[in-house]
Amino acid sequence: MIIGKVVGNVFSTRKNEKLVGSKFLIISPISDMSGSGDRFVAVDNVGAGIGETVLVAFGSAARIGCDMDNAPVDAAVVGIIDEGSEF
Protein backbone atom coordinates (compact mmCIF):
# COMPACT_ATOMS: atom_id res chain seq x y z
CA MET A 1 0.00 0.00 0.00
CA ILE A 2 1.23 3.49 -0.78
CA ILE A 3 0.21 7.08 -0.13
CA GLY A 4 -0.48 9.17 -3.22
CA LYS A 5 -2.10 12.38 -4.41
CA VAL A 6 -4.93 12.37 -6.95
CA VAL A 7 -3.77 14.48 -9.91
CA GLY A 8 -6.38 13.69 -12.56
CA ASN A 9 -9.20 11.57 -13.97
CA VAL A 10 -9.28 9.02 -16.75
CA PHE A 11 -12.39 8.69 -18.89
CA SER A 12 -12.99 5.54 -20.92
CA THR A 13 -16.13 4.87 -22.93
CA ARG A 14 -15.02 1.38 -23.99
CA LYS A 15 -13.72 -0.99 -21.32
CA ASN A 16 -13.93 -4.49 -19.94
CA GLU A 17 -17.51 -5.26 -18.94
CA LYS A 18 -16.43 -5.83 -15.32
CA LEU A 19 -15.17 -2.24 -15.16
CA VAL A 20 -18.38 -0.57 -16.39
CA GLY A 21 -19.43 2.06 -13.87
CA SER A 22 -15.96 2.32 -12.32
CA LYS A 23 -14.23 5.66 -11.76
CA PHE A 24 -10.53 5.90 -12.66
CA LEU A 25 -8.03 8.33 -11.13
CA ILE A 26 -4.44 9.28 -11.94
CA ILE A 27 -2.32 8.96 -8.81
CA SER A 28 1.09 10.51 -8.16
CA PRO A 29 2.90 8.55 -5.41
CA ILE A 30 4.03 10.44 -2.32
CA SER A 31 5.56 7.42 -0.64
CA ASP A 32 6.65 4.70 -3.03
CA MET A 33 8.34 1.54 -1.75
CA SER A 34 9.63 0.77 -5.26
CA GLY A 35 11.22 4.20 -5.60
CA SER A 36 9.97 4.65 -9.17
CA GLY A 37 7.62 7.58 -8.46
CA ASP A 38 5.73 7.08 -11.75
CA ARG A 39 2.09 8.11 -11.97
CA PHE A 40 -0.46 5.32 -12.39
CA VAL A 41 -4.20 4.75 -12.78
CA ALA A 42 -6.29 3.33 -9.95
CA VAL A 43 -9.95 2.37 -9.60
CA ASP A 44 -11.78 4.54 -7.09
CA ASN A 45 -14.90 3.48 -5.26
CA VAL A 46 -14.43 5.63 -2.14
CA GLY A 47 -15.20 8.96 -3.87
CA ALA A 48 -11.76 10.60 -3.91
CA GLY A 49 -11.24 13.79 -5.88
CA ILE A 50 -8.40 15.73 -7.48
CA GLY A 51 -6.00 17.12 -4.89
CA GLU A 52 -6.86 14.60 -2.18
CA THR A 53 -4.29 12.38 -0.49
CA VAL A 54 -5.23 8.71 -0.70
CA LEU A 55 -4.21 5.18 0.29
CA VAL A 56 -3.76 2.84 -2.67
CA ALA A 57 -3.62 -0.97 -2.59
CA PHE A 58 -2.12 -3.10 -5.37
CA GLY A 59 -2.63 -6.58 -6.84
CA SER A 60 -5.07 -8.98 -5.22
CA ALA A 61 -5.45 -6.61 -2.25
CA ALA A 62 -6.74 -3.97 -4.69
CA ARG A 63 -9.36 -6.31 -6.14
CA ILE A 64 -10.51 -7.40 -2.69
CA GLY A 65 -10.41 -3.83 -1.35
CA CYS A 66 -12.80 -2.57 -4.01
CA ASP A 67 -14.94 -5.75 -4.04
CA MET A 68 -14.03 -6.57 -7.66
CA ASP A 69 -12.48 -10.03 -7.20
CA ASN A 70 -12.85 -11.04 -10.87
CA ALA A 71 -12.10 -7.68 -12.53
CA PRO A 72 -8.81 -6.70 -14.22
CA VAL A 73 -7.80 -4.30 -11.43
CA ASP A 74 -4.20 -3.85 -10.28
CA ALA A 75 -4.54 -0.65 -8.19
CA ALA A 76 -7.43 0.66 -6.11
CA VAL A 77 -7.99 3.69 -3.90
CA VAL A 78 -9.01 2.17 -0.56
CA GLY A 79 -9.02 5.28 1.63
CA ILE A 80 -8.88 9.07 1.73
CA ILE A 81 -6.37 10.51 4.19
CA ASP A 82 -7.76 13.32 6.34
CA GLU A 83 -4.61 13.99 8.33
CA GLY A 84 -1.14 12.56 8.69
CA SER A 85 2.45 13.40 9.40
CA GLU A 86 5.55 13.39 7.21
CA PHE A 87 3.94 13.59 3.76
Measuring CA to CA, which residue among 2, 10, 48, 47 is closest to residue 28?
Answer: 2
pLDDT at 35: 52
Is pLDDT larger for residue 45 or for residue 36?
A: 45
Alpha-carbon 83 to chain mean position: 18
DSSP 13-55: SS--GGGTT-EEEEEEEEE-TTS----EEEEE-S---TT-EEE
The pTM is what? 0.82
φ, ψ for residue 4 (rounded to 5)? -145, 170
- In the chain, what are the domains? 2-12+22-80 (2.40.50.220)
pLDDT at 33 over 70: no
- Residues near 87 by beta carbon (within 8 Å), at least 6 away in sequence: 3, 30, 31, 53
Task: Provide mean pLDDT across the span 34-56.
Answer: 87
